[in-house]
Copies of this chain bind each other. A is one copy, B any other.
Amino acid sequence: MLIVMKSGASQNEIDRVIEVIEILGFRGHAMPGEGRTAIGITGNKGAIDPAHFENLPGVADAIRVTKPYKLISKDLRPERSVVKVGNATIGGDELAIIAGPCAVENPKQVLAVAESVAASGSKFFRGGAFKPRTSPYAFQGMGEDGLKILAEARDQFGLNIVTEAMDEQGVDLVVKYGDCIQIGARNMQNFSLLKYAGQTRKPVLLKRGLSATLDEFLLAAEYIMSEGNYDVILCERGIRTFADHARNTMDLSIVPAVHRMTHLPIIVDPSHGTGHNYLVNPLARAGVAVGADGLLIEVHPCPEEALCDGAQALTPNQYLELVTQVNRLHALMVEEDARTPVVTEIAV
């Protein structure tokens, strides 16, 4: 934290700022400049709220210097984390593809899609048993019965189950039946839920909130980790903007930004990120090209009859085509990165 005083600030005003710093338990260091005085703060363990200073007489600005991260940061762990999910991993050299229907509707639908997903070589299956729907009158998911169907898909096809929990009871059930707790965009700052998930020992897939900055996204992960659960996978799923040709705007630059600042893996979800079938394949390719550790893809045997989000679901055939394509693309990306580590490193 750096306090910049106005050019005509009096010595009394400077002294008052330092006094407030000391009341807060830190140390203030006045650095007089040619035009104005700046005051540095030390002794703080994390970030200090600029609010303490902004309205004091004579203060021009209060600027944060230190970021309030601890456990997610590369300072703590320079190499990338590889997160174990069931019998597979996310974050290593292989592209992780998590696929399945938006909502679990019935055993037939789930098992049909699971068969396609297993056939494609993917190791992760998704499907919602608890659905966060904008309207209370929309289909809310099958609940525990849905989780049992997902468990059956795992037993039959050896897939690892990623599924959403919306509250503590949901977390308990996902821990019981599934392999990875998904926390949805709308709950990204449901801090009670984050802490509860942080007390389990199942990996957590944390989706970015619709209007979350990078800082807020990373601090949501920090909430989970601060409870002792270090197995967090981030997921970009589109943000809310004025653009209206897609349901959300995929913010792919967050992938290299996350990799630069943290050791956590990050995947992208072009299904929710675009909301339109014809955009899923191109944005999945873009996600792999930008360096994502995996993809989240919605697949439905008959998208136009889906109870939820049908417009964005791929048919099983479209899905198989996509997997083939992104795997070839990912192989090329790995090759490129192997070929040219040096200049890229400097670029960072």
Asked if B242 and A256 make an inter-chain contact with CB atoms under 8 angstroms apart, the answer reads: no
A145 to B6, alpha carbons, bound, how many Å?
41
Question: Would you call A334 an interface residue if the criterion is a C-beta within 8 Å of the partner chain's C-beta atoms?
Answer: no
Per-residue CB contact flags for chain A residues 304-337 toward chain B (1 = under 8 Å, else 0) read 1110111110100110010001001100110010
Chain A window 35-46, contacts with chain B (Cβ cutoff 8 Å), 1 for yes, 0 for no = 100101010011
Judging by beta carbons under 8 Å apart, are B166 and A312 in contact? no
CB distance from A287 to the nearest CB of B (A): 7
Q: Which residues does chain B contribute within 8 Å of A40, judged by CB atoms?
A: 33, 38
Q: Which residue of B lies closest to A62 (CB)?
A: B311
Instruction: Check A192 for interface membership: any CB of B closer than 8 A.
Output: yes
A33 to B35, CA, bound (A): 20
Residues of B within 8 A of A336 (CB): 325, 328-329
Select A42's contact among B35, B276, B308, beta carbons within 8 Å: B35
A260 contacts partner chain B, Cβ-Cβ < 8 Å: yes
Q: Which residues of B contact A317 (CB under 8 A)?
A: 343
State whether A321 touches B343 (Cβ < 8 A).
yes
Of the residues B136, B245, B308, contact of A253 by C-beta under 8 Å: B245
Question: Judging by beta carbons under 8 Å apart, are A243 and B250 in contact?
Answer: no
| A231 within 8 A of partner (CB) | no
Complex Cα distance, B312 from A12, in Å, reads 23
Contact of A213 among B242, B283, B304 (CB under 8 A): B242
Structural contact, B136 and A223, CB atoms closer than 8 A: yes
The answer to whether A210 has its CB under 8 Å from any CB of chain B is yes
Question: When the two chains form the complex, which single residue of B23, B50, B65 contacts A61, counting CB atoms closer than 8 Å?
Answer: B65
A64 to chain B minimum Cβ distance, whole angstroms, is 9
User: Once the chains bind, are B304 and A55 in contact (CB under 8 Å)?
Assistant: yes
Q: CA of A40 to CA of B136 in the docked complex: distance in angstroms?
A: 24
- Chain B residues within 8 Å of A280, by CB: 347
**B305, A20: Cβ atoms closer than 8 Å:** yes
Q: Compute how far the CA of A171 lies from the CA of B88 in the bound complex, rounded to whole angstroms.
A: 39
Chain A 182-208 interface residues, beta-carbon cutoff 8 Å to B: 186-187, 189-193, 195
Which residues of B sit under 8 angstroms from A137, Cβ to Cβ?
A: 45-47, 68, 70, 222, 226
Across-interface contacts of A192 in B (CB, < 8 A): 166-167, 170
> Chain B nearest CB: distance from A87 CB in Å?
30
Going nearest first, the 9 A-B pairs with the smallest beta carbon separation are A51-B311, A289-B289, A211-B211, A167-B192, A186-B189, A51-B310, A285-B289, A286-B290, A286-B286
